[in-house]
A and B are shown apart, each in its own frame.
Chain A
Amino acid sequence: MIDIQAIRKDFPILNQKTYNHQIVYFDNAATSQKPQIVIDTTNEYYLKYNSNIHRGVHYLSEKMTEAYENARKTVKSFINAKFQHEIIFTSGTTESINLVAFTFGEKYIFENDEIIISQNEHHSNIVPWQMVCERKGAKIKVLPLQYNGELDLNAYKKLFNDKTKIVAVNHASNSLGTINNIETIIKIAHEHNVPVLIDGAQGIQHQIVDVQQLDCDFYTFSGHKIYGPTGTGVLYGKEKWLNEMPPYKGGGDMIKTVTFEKTTYNDLPLKYEAGTANFVGAIGLSAAIKYVEIIGMKNIIEYEEMLFKYLKEKISKVPEIRIYGTATNKICLISFLLGKIHHFDTGMMLDKMDIAVRTGNHCNQPTMQFYGIEGTVRASLTYYNTIEEIDYFIDSLIKVKQLFG
């Protein structure tokens, strides 16, 4: 088991009062806090080594390039990719998905083709595919959601036909917390020779991800949700796809030669990294991943499961609680409404009691439509949260209930 007090010391932001009470940060699905080592590493690289990568012959540039490429190595081994050049640094999950939707779409998707996405996706795993459909005259097929928050895999099997070109689903749901059975989802798609993109924005920080074992074709995630800097992200893609797909953005670094008649593109991974990359960000992300590795993903999972079990048990006893998403396999996230109280009112009152939660539709309007609600209150926890915080949260919920009657 992890040493929670030692870990909390590594996250200075948690040791402050927002109003009267020490902050209880239960909005980790929106963004996670940064350990000191990420802040220090970022500072250090700006202080000592700042210089553009892949270009200079001088000392600083070489130092920075080396650190940037080492960051790629860290990501590669963290998700167990086969090759380092299968790791593309992006600005986040959204850019990673847009990159695949656009370039895969250019090469492989044509009129009347079909793309399968689930009914429980973040808007950033819906809209890029709709844009491909508009451009190419293709169609979205929806993998249906069941009331408990699990995807209907029997219905999924029936969605395939010879027009199906790609499947895009999330690893874990940002609005309901369901950990989807991506192993099976990938296996079924591959039986039909259809590649799969996994939106790992809520998966990477809570689950062990081995892209070779999963055999997914693409895996995307954001740095800021795994304790790294904002504006960083990763696209993992199998070499075969990344080589075959056309480039996304044009610019420096992604080319080999440029004349006005013809430009030849660079090899992977630089083919997809046009312009000056967020190299200090990538190095910060690498520090964040190393921090997670030191604590150990297995320990994190074990601790978060313990927290979730406790939270689930406690919250189920709050009068008139309505929980959305009751799948057996969930990350430590609960989406709920308190009787007839509007999610905004609950969120406002919790804020005044120094508890940070997210309220609204969580960029997940189709899921809210499925449940016939406007939004929920979402408490999303991670390994630096504690049992004591859950107790305070539950007491505060009861207060909110009393206040609004």
Chain B
Amino acid sequence: MSIEQAQEQIVEEFSEYPDWMEKYTYLIELSKVLQGFKEEYRNTQNLIIGCQSQVWLQAEYVDKKINFYADSDAIITKGMVALLVRVLSNRTPDEIANAELWFIEKIGLNTHLSPTRSNGLASMVKQMKLYAIAYKTKYNV
């Protein structure tokens, strides 16, 4: 499934929840996907500091693809993080670097990504792209 298809799938899932309460209940549900984040990854090197909630992001390069592992101390943020991991993990550096993320706006959760929201999500997307560029340079792919 391409990044585009993954985004379309998420939009379709969320279309079943027009009500904000259902939407957030679903986000809480999604946050559970991220369970099992390894304690050794929960270090300051992987920490993306937001004023309100914190996000930990670990990247690994396997078989020319980047795998992301992430966690957050806040559940709503964690649900959003789960969506970002779902869309961007297990992709080539090129795919990640060139990805245009439009699904968040489409499902009506874009306020979470605006740079003024200090929950670390906007920084997380930036960090994911930086990893992609770094691996691209390192392995010349």
Q: Which residues of A contact B (CB under 8 A)?
A: 19, 341-345, 347-349, 352, 359-361, 374-375, 403-404
**17 pairs, A vs B, C-beta closer than 8 Å:** A19-B20, A342-B53, A342-B73, A344-B74, A344-B77, A345-B74, A345-B75, A345-B76, A347-B52, A348-B24, A348-B76, A349-B76, A352-B24, A361-B51, A374-B54, A403-B21, A403-B25
Shortest Cβ distance from A348 into B: residue: B76
Shortest Cβ distance from B79 into A: residue: A345
Q: Tell whether A375 pairs with B24 under 8 Å between CB atoms, given A344-B77, A348-B76.
A: no
- Chain B residues closer than 8 Å to A348, beta-carbon distance: 24, 76
Q: Tell whether A403 pairs with B53 under 8 Å between CB atoms, given A345-B74, A345-B76.
A: no
- Chain A residues closer than 8 Å to B3, beta-carbon distance: none
- CB distance B119 to A344 under 8 Å? yes
A359 to B53, CA, bound (A): 10
Shortest Cβ distance from B25 into A: residue: A403
A146 to B22, CA, bound (A): 42
A19 to B51, CA, bound (A): 25
Looking at the assembled complex, report how far the CB atom of B91 sits from the nearest CB atom of chain A, in whole angstroms.
28
Q: Of B28, B51, B118, which is within 8 A of A404 by CB?
A: B28
- Chain A residues closer than 8 Å to B74, beta-carbon distance: 342, 344-345
Looking at the assembled complex, report how far the CB atom of A368 sits from the nearest CB atom of chain B, in whole angstroms.
12
A352 to B74, CA, bound (A): 16
- Summed over the interface, the residue pairs from A and B with CB atoms below 8 Å come to a total of 38
Looking at the assembled complex, report how far the CB atom of A233 sits from the nearest CB atom of chain B, in whole angstroms.
24
Q: Of B20, B28, B53, B119, which is within 8 A of A352 by CB?
A: B20
- CB distance B52 to A359 under 8 Å? yes
Known: A348-B24, A403-B25. 16 other contacts (CB 8 A): A19-B20, A342-B53, A342-B74, A344-B52, A344-B53, A344-B74, A344-B77, A345-B75, A345-B76, A347-B52, A349-B76, A359-B52, A360-B118, A361-B51, A375-B52, A403-B21
A342 to B50, CA, bound (A): 13
- CB distance A344 to B20 under 8 Å? no
- CB distance B52 to A404 under 8 Å? no
Shortest Cβ distance from B119 into A: residue: A344
Looking at the assembled complex, report how far the CB atom of B16 sits from the nearest CB atom of chain A, in whole angstroms.
18
A360 to B50, CA, bound (A): 10
Q: Most chain-B Cβ atoms within 10 A of its Cβ — which of A342, A344, A374, A404?
A: A344
Looking at the assembled complex, report how far the CB atom of B38 sits from the nearest CB atom of chain A, in whole angstroms.
21
- 4 nearest A-B residue pairs (beta carbon): A342-B74, A344-B74, A344-B53, A344-B52
A32 to B131, CA, bound (A): 43
- Chain B residues closer than 8 Å to A349, beta-carbon distance: 24, 76
- Chain A residues closer than 8 Å to B52, beta-carbon distance: 343-344, 347, 359-360, 375
A56 to B117, CA, bound (A): 45
A19 to B23, CA, bound (A): 15
For residues 41 through 96 of chain B, which have their beta carbon under 8 Å from a beta carbon of chain A?
Answer: 51-54, 73-77
A347 to B75, CA, bound (A): 12
Binary per-residue interface labels of chain B (21-41) against chain A in the complex, 1 for a CB within 8 Å, 0 otherwise:
100110010000000000000
- CB distance B25 to A374 under 8 Å? no
- Chain B residues closer than 8 Å to A403, beta-carbon distance: 21, 24-25, 28
- Chain B residues closer than 8 Å to A374, beta-carbon distance: 54, 73
Q: Of B24, B25, B51, B75, which is within 8 A of A342 by CB?
A: B75
A342 to B77, CA, bound (A): 10
Binary per-residue interface labels of chain B (90-122) against chain A in the complex, 1 for a CB within 8 Å, 0 otherwise:
000000000000000000000000000011000
- Chain B residues closer than 8 Å to A345, beta-carbon distance: 74-76
Shortest Cβ distance from A375 into B: residue: B52
- Chain A residues closer than 8 Å to B76, beta-carbon distance: 344-345, 348-349
A19 to B25, CA, bound (A): 18
- Chain B residues closer than 8 Å to A347, beta-carbon distance: 52
- Chain B residues closer than 8 Å to A352, beta-carbon distance: 20-21, 24
A347 to B50, CA, bound (A): 15
